[in-house]
Amino acid sequence: MKQVMLSAAVISFTFASALATPTKSNDNNSNELSKFSSVMTLIPAGIQVDKYKFIDMTDAVDNPDSYDVLLSGKNFKGDVLYDEDGKVISYKEELKDTRLPDNVVNAIETKYPDSRITKDLEIISDDQIVTDEYKVNFVNGTKHGYALVDADGKIIRSRK
């Protein structure tokens, strides 16, 4: 009976492993990340990366077709997608509590006078075109709201 159960477990594990496509690694293996060293040039100066996760996306014949490197640290989260040759396809980074540009602060103050900014998130992404946007949470009296503002100070959407 034990042999039948063990055989069934091995077959199930083998079958599940064959169908799983992403390979994830949470260890901070610097050799693995060194293949994609350009990821570090995308991180703003002064940001310390505490950990990363390397995901190898494989196709039906187990050839890697892209690699996703997820980075995180204090007030920072990043995601860089590479093709099989190690070339950057796209990236996105989020920075909490950054220094807001004057254009962004002025846009909030103009639309919501007497409001107080409570927290913010800078979102920089490149998926064909580089975008730099700020999600700003604020309090105006007793009402809480947020606004998504581009780097030029144009409010993309908001709610109060």
Give the helix/strand (H/E) hosting 47. none
Q: In sequence order, which ranges of the chain are alpha helices (DSSP H)?
A: 2-19, 30-34, 102-111
If one counts every other C-beta atom within 10 angstroms of the C-beta of residue 109, the result is 13
Q: Which residues contact 90 (CB under 8 A, 6 or more apart)?
A: 80, 81, 125, 126, 127, 128
| Alpha carbon of residue 39 to chain centroid | 12
Report yes or no on whether pTM surpasses 0.75: no
Of 42, 152, 137, the closest CA to residue 103 belongs to 152
Q: Which range is least confidently modeled, 35-39, 86-90, 95-99, 107-111?
A: 35-39
> How far apart are alpha carbons 75 and 142 in whole angstroms?
27
> How far apart are alpha carbons 1 and 41 in whole angstroms?
57
Beta bridge partners of 125: 92, 131
8 Å CB contact between 69 and 33: yes
Average pLDDT over the chain, rounded to whole?
Answer: 74
The larger pLDDT score, comparing residue 108 to residue 85, is at 108
Of 96, 111, 113, the closest CA to residue 44 belongs to 96
Domain ranges of the chain: 20-95, 97-160
- Statement: residue 51 has pLDDT above 80: no
Assign 61 a pLDDT band (cuts: 50, 70, 90): low
